[in-house]
Amino acid sequence: MGSGTDCLSRAIVIGGSIAGLLTARVLSEAFQEVVIVERDQLPQSSAPRRGVPQSVQPHILLTKGYRILEALFPGIGADLHSAGALPIDWGREFHYYHRGGRNATSEGDSGLVSFTCTRPLLEATVRSRVAKLPNIKWLESCRVCGLVGDRNQVSGIRYRLSRPTEQEQHLSADLVVDASGRGSLAPKWLGDIGADVPAATVINPYVGYATQRLQIPEGWLADWKVLLVSQEAPHNPRLGYLAQVEGGEWIATLGGYGKDYPPLEHSGFLDFAKSLASPEFYEAVKAAQPVTEITAHRATANRLYHYERLQMPRGFAALGDAVCALCPVYGQGMTLSAIAATVLQDWLQQLKGNQPMDTSSFQQRLAKGSQFPWGVATGSDSQFPGTEGAIPSKPLGGLFQKYVEQLIQKSQEEAWIHIRFTEIAHMVKPPTAFFEPRLVLKALSR
């Protein structure tokens, strides 16, 4: 696929995780050379790595995210499957417990498919595809120290290899993209060169996770591949997520809002599981054999940097969790990174000639695409007592929430409602689909 730009010299991507890999894939169409700068020494296999501490926690590849992966890397589904990932039909093989009931499921194929696997396996599969691109280069074990340039123009990065005697070096580029995730230092780097620094909105519900991998018991039969026992605002802060992954294992996660953190020892983990609104999660994990230790994850605040409000220095952009980091409960992170890559792709294709890389318009487009996921996550999280920075409830917002709750109740009776709800949650239909006449009539019916 071509680009609207003449072939530019070099782009730098800061961060080699999912967002960075997809960004590099898109940039490879428009630049002679793309350099991925990664602070870790990347593993050759699908092992967790230090630079992604949340990698042992569950990650969901929504249908929209998987469709983007297939568009960027045709046939990657077959690669994932051969590596052990399990295909999942979200209309048929997802069980969702909420307010005393479970969703109805479709009898046939729903078309809402992706894969369930661990984050390291997904990342390794994507990384192997990116590594085959001839104009991609890697700087591993490398820490970015700052940007080269001024408030008007970024022309590269300052970096240091992770060796005690290594001197700081410079690398020039036509475009630098920060895809370094929640730990992004880009606001500091911008301040250091005299550029405007983005304001941040933070909404923290103080969710804590505890996760363990389990061997699925021999002969265990279930008609689901992913099971979610949901939290229910404002009085039920607990949730459980159980997903089949590669190797005949489950990844089991317990979570609690408002610092109701799950224990990290086995008996406490089981007791917490037993307290969930549905017994199905507890019965499964009680019967399974632990494969790993229980690990905690508590860096779960929703945080949005408002780059769209700035006059960005030309030649610098940010995307993924480095811009919009959502509470992981909603499983939107990897798919939002994939969507961001397509926004970047479209923006590059519309540039004419070698015009300056004025990235302000890109950040504005990116922000528009994040509005609905941000609103879903922060609106739901704000209903829990103790959420720091909670958004005050508005009358229309409260009515919409009641409407959605009514649809969830109806989705426990009729599979087509669950399918429509899932299409919106998986970002393959716009939020306006909530107001399809059939849905409105169902929500209003008794």
Q: How confident is the model at residue 1 (pLDDT cuts 50, 70, 90)?
A: very low
Average pLDDT for residues 245-274, to the nearest whole number?
97
The pLDDT tens digits for 21-46 are: 999 999 999 999 999 999 988 776 55
Q: Show Cβ contacts of residue 207 under 8 Å, excluding neighbours closer than 6 positions.
A: 255, 256, 257, 298, 300, 327, 328, 329, 381
The strands making up 302-305's β-sheet, listed across from edge to edge, are: 200-203, 302-305, 324-325
- Check whether 314 has a pLDDT greater than 60: yes
The pLDDT, as a whole number, for residue 82 is 98
Q: Look up the pTM and report it.
A: 0.94
DSSP 8-class letter at 302: E
The pLDDT, as a whole number, for residue 133 is 98
The pLDDT, as a whole number, for residue 3 is 47
Cα–Cα distance between 11 and 174 in angstroms, integer?
6
Using alpha carbons only, give the angle 272, 276, 280 rounded to the nearest 5 degrees. Answer: 110
End-to-end CA distance of the chain: give it in Å, rounded: 52
324 and 336 Cβ atoms separated by less than 8 Å: yes
118 and 246 Cβ atoms separated by less than 8 Å: yes
Cα–Cα distance between 30 and 407 in angstroms, integer?
44
Average pLDDT for residues 349-354, to the nearest whole number?
77
CATH number listed for the domain at residues 8-51+122-199+312-362+371-380: 3.50.50.60
Partnered with residue 138 across adjacent β-strands are 36
Helix/strand/coil for 76: helix
Who wins on pLDDT, 261 or 41? 261
Tally of CB atoms within 10 A around 287: 11
What tokens does 189 get? Answer: 């780097």
Cα–Cα distance between 26 and 412 in angstroms, integer?
40
Average pLDDT for residues 427-433, to the nearest whole number?
95
For the chain, what is the mean pLDDT? Answer: 93
The pLDDT, as a whole number, for residue 162 is 77
- Check whether 438 has a pLDDT greater than 60: yes
Average pLDDT for residues 180-199, to the nearest whole number?
97
Who wins on pLDDT, 7 or 272? 272
- Check whether 371 has a pLDDT greater than 70: yes
Show me where the domains of the chain are located: 8-51+122-199+312-362+371-380, 72-119+204-297, 391-444
Domain 72-119+204-297 has CATH 3.40.190.10: no
